[in-house]
Structure 1
Amino acid sequence: MTHASLSRSQLIGLIVLTLMWGINWPVMKLSLRELGPLHFRALTMALGALGLLLFFRLQGIRMLPRGAAEWRQVVWLGLPNMLGWHALSIYGLAQLPAGRAAVLGFTMPVWTVALGVLFYGERLTARLLLAAAAVLAGITLLLWNELAQLAGQPAGIAWMQGAALCWALGTVWMRRTAITLPSETLVVWMMALAALAIAPLALALEPTLSWRFSPAVWASLVWAVLVNYGASQVIWFRLARVLPPSTSAMSIMAVPLIGVLSAPLIVGEWPQWQDLAAMTCVVVAIGAVLLPARGGRETA
């Protein structure tokens, strides 16, 4: 499948999805002004999972895992894909500007390929070396900038890279697991179990919620449930089966760009030159590992 074979509705869906994913970073940052990161994740993931469960069930999709083997798939794949990524990334976001966190989180595709080379015998290529160099350059720029500021939070960079590595590991495991569950069912139960794991941590480690949020934070929570964990998931599942690889890559490359550019409008965080330079490095890295080689055939 090529770009030209995408229908108008599919192209619009892809643009909307990319905007949702990018804008979500500063919207989440807005929520963290008035509630703890673990409370935010537990609350929004639980409600999002419930909404998706009801929606996909009405579509006639089997929503209950069968037997111990399918429940093991949910738990095993959910540890890095949901629990690791969502718990670590929200801590990183709490300590970093939203655009910066988005840039660091979307180094995931590079780490996915690197894990394949290091542990699964995949071939090391010049493009992967370029991607690794570009990612390291971007991380170095941001780390140097954080350390140079008295109020900097270099630990936030470590949280985000841990989150990106979890997401990458989960992606590698997904590719190498014979999944018998519908993908919608797998994601819903991974989200639900991750929320159940995060909730007691939130109660133990963070202050009790007052529920007296500002209108802007209420709006950001509604966004998280209905858009990030709701509409964007539905759009993604409908597009994932038809998107060509290069189209998916371009969408992923655009997310940190949108995160950086939308942050000034939503949370008043203006990017510095290090953010823009690091964003360019990460976009180059994603393109190097995801876009097909020139002359290569593109499959759906």
Structure 2
Amino acid sequence: MLTPRQLWGLVALTLMWGVNWPMMKYSLRELSPLYFRALTMTGGAVWLYAFFRARGVRMWPARSEWRQIAVLALPNMLGWHLLSIFGVKALASGRAAILGFTMPVWTVLIGTLFFGERLTRRVVFATVAVALAIALLLWHEAAALAGRPVGVLWMEGAALAWAIGTLMMRRSHPSLPVQALTVWMMLLSAAVIWLLALSLEPWPQWQFSAPMWGSLAYGVLINYGFAQIIWFGLARHLPPATSAMSIMAVPLIGTASATLIVGEWPSWQDGAALIAVMAAMAAVLLPPRTAARTAPHKETA
């Protein structure tokens, strides 16, 4: 059972991650995608490095650990964050969040196809539900006068990268603390994104409005900062069903908060796709009832 502190931490984390989607969309009104991602990821990584080092976490990798950091960073950080920011640029932020959180389904499906994991009715249902959600959003984007169907492809590419990275993380056994691993994956990915930004986008003027500076601060301090710290504090103690429900709530909050922050009103296709994706996530993340019934109860001292 969750303690009150864990419960409030979980609520805060879900809100932070959900609100981040329209906040990113707001930032892209005044800053190009690559510079936005490079700036916020660098700032967040530096802030996390200082925080965890002050807490006594070993932050500097050994020579033998660098290769693993780089390999894991490719899909988990570079692939996900690079592709998703172009998806947010092209799509409504709530729609991007819905598509991005098809990741758990892709993780299970890839595990079934390539790693010998069992194909269950839940996986089949989740796959069909995600396909329906993608079809609904592609249909809406193609039918809209200023639709950007390519944005759907950006977001699904990001979700696939995240799914592959998740499977790689499950099969790796890093000796570096996970906090340090995350920070260095962020720093290496940010360095690549800085190079891409300098090569492909014009240099920003850095004359932003006050709300824009607030949005950038949110990305650095909240999304890449406090949210990560809360997650590291909760991850080891949350029951699977609880963490699953938290993840499922993120696209819902992203879609709802987008109306207030950037004035995006969801269409019926968005609502139907959100329901389909949440059902798919529930199918692959929530434990079966039979497993919950037969699970042994912990003895209390």
TM-score with structure 2 length normalisation?
0.97
Comparing 222-231 with 202-211, greater Cα deviation is found at 202-211
Q: Aligned AA for 2:282?
A: G
Report deviation, 1:178. Answer: 1.4
Q: Aligned AA for 1:66?
A: A
Report deviation, 1:149. Answer: 1.1
- Distance in 1, Cα, partners of 2:138 & 2:98: 13
**Residue from 279, 284, 287 that aligns with 1:284:** 279
Q: 2:26 aligns to what?
A: 30
> Is 1:154 aligned to residue 161 of structure 2?
no
The structure 1 segments of at least 4 consecutive aligned residues displaced by more than 6 Å after TM superposition are: none
**Residue from 66, 82, 86 that aligns with 1:87:** 82
**Residue from 188, 196, 204 that aligns with 1:201:** 196
**Residue from 148, 158, 171 that aligns with 1:163:** 158
**Residue from 58, 72, 76 that aligns with 1:77:** 72
Match of 1:295, SS? helix
Structure 1 residue ranges without an equivalent (≥5): none
- Distance in 2, Cα, partners of 1:267 & 1:117: 39
**Residue from 249, 264, 272 that aligns with 2:267:** 272
Q: 2:10 aligns to what?
A: 14
Report deviation, 1:72. Answer: 1.1
> C-alpha deviations, 1:151-200, integer Å up to 9, x for none?
10000000000000000000000000111110000000000000000001
- Distance in 2, Cα, partners of 1:274 & 1:205: 34
- Distance in 1, Cα, partners of 2:117 & 2:136: 29
> Is 1:230 aligned to residue 225 of structure 2?
yes
Structure 2 residue ranges without an equivalent (≥5): none
> C-alpha deviations, 1:7-46, integer Å up to 9, x for none?
0000000000000000000000000001110000100101
RMSD: 1.1
> C-alpha deviations, 1:61-89, integer Å up to 9, x for none?
00011122x11111000000000000000
- Distance in 2, Cα, partners of 1:67 & 1:294: 46
Q: 1:217 aligns to what?
A: 212
Q: 1:58 aligns to what?
A: 54
Q: Aligned AA for 1:32?
A: L
Report deviation, 1:150. Answer: 2.1
Q: Aligned AA for 1:121?
A: G
Q: 2:39 aligns to what?
A: 43
TM-score with structure 1 length normalisation?
0.97
Match of 2:289, SS? coil
Alignment of structure 1 residues 116-155 onto 2, 5 Å: 116-155=111-150
**Residue from 169, 172, 177 that aligns with 1:177:** 172
Q: Aligned AA for 2:86?
A: Y
- Distance in 2, Cα, partners of 1:150 & 1:98: 18
Match of 1:48, SS? helix
- Distance in 1, Cα, partners of 2:118 & 2:240: 19
> Is 1:254 aligned to residue 237 of structure 2?
no
> C-alpha deviations, 1:209-265, integer Å up to 9, x for none?
100011111100000000000000000000001001000100010000000000010
- Distance in 2, Cα, partners of 1:270 & 1:219: 23
Give the length in aligned residue pairs.
295
- Distance in 2, Cα, partners of 1:268 & 1:217: 16
Match of 1:123, SS? coil
